[in-house]
Amino acid sequence: MGKPSQWLWGIQVAAFSMLVIWAAVDPSFEPLVHGNWFSSGWMSANPIRCVGIVLIAILAVGSLLGWMVQFFARSSSMIHRRSLAQLLAVATLAAFWCALAIHLDTIAWQGKRARFAWRVQELERIAAPLREQWPQRDGELPAIGPFMAYPFGRPTTLVLLQAPPVAKRSVYVSAIESQNGAIKLQLTGTDGGDWAEWHPRQSRPSSFVGGLSDPHELEDATSIGHGWYLVRYRS
């Protein structure tokens, strides 16, 4: 493999790595993947991400085209000698990109898991008082502010009137459920959309029906330490 091929291979690796890192660290990446890419509204709201996508596409496609030009520019004897190596390289590259496309959601999910593992202390600040004494009526607590408790009489759901932050400007708690000793925090915000749940020993996240008679079907759950889980339910 000559120097030009090494450079082109390096560019492919760089583009691949940039996309993996982006998927893992950007809370908006997963909604972006499932949204409308490059609509006028999306581009005006996400100029930096738009530039990032264009840059990665230019690096990936440009280096692949460079490979093809380099391959077909050789003499027929060189093509015959190196065609198998080139074919294997392209097949390997295609396999990497296909695997990345298939597992982008998993990469984004594991990145979110890593972020929430650093937020357990903030989650504990909210959940600890509720583990000691679960409210029996509407009220207000220092960690969560004012709330309404449902259903009346034996509440299992707290609807928070002022969503307390877990991470500034990115994660808030909008509601809290109590189910068989578990404390379940419904997350909103840029890095929200899922649940953070504390479970006692021998308990694990599972599907449930909330205090407002809203069903939640378990899709995925992963431990973030100290009895806490990051949980996703099907919408």
Model pLDDT, residue 77: 55
Considering only CA atoms, which of 122, 134, 123 is closest in space to residue 158?
A: 134
- State yes or no: cis peptide before 164, omega within 30 of 0: no
Model pLDDT, residue 38: 59
Residue 27 pLDDT exceeds 80: yes
Model pLDDT, residue 49: 74
Per DSSP, the residues of 160-197 read ESS--EEETTTEEEEEEEEETTEEEEEEESTT-SSEEE
Model pLDDT, residue 72: 64
* Per-residue pLDDT tens digits for 107-142: 999 999 999 999 999 999 999 999 999 999 999 999
What rounded mean pLDDT belongs to the chain?
86
3-state secondary structure of 212: coil
- Confirm whether pTM is higher than 0.75: yes
* Per-residue pLDDT tens digits for 140-193: 999 999 999 999 989 999 999 999 999 877 899 999 999 999 999 999 998 989
Residue 211 pLDDT exceeds 80: yes
Q: What percent of the chain has pLDDT over 70?
A: 84
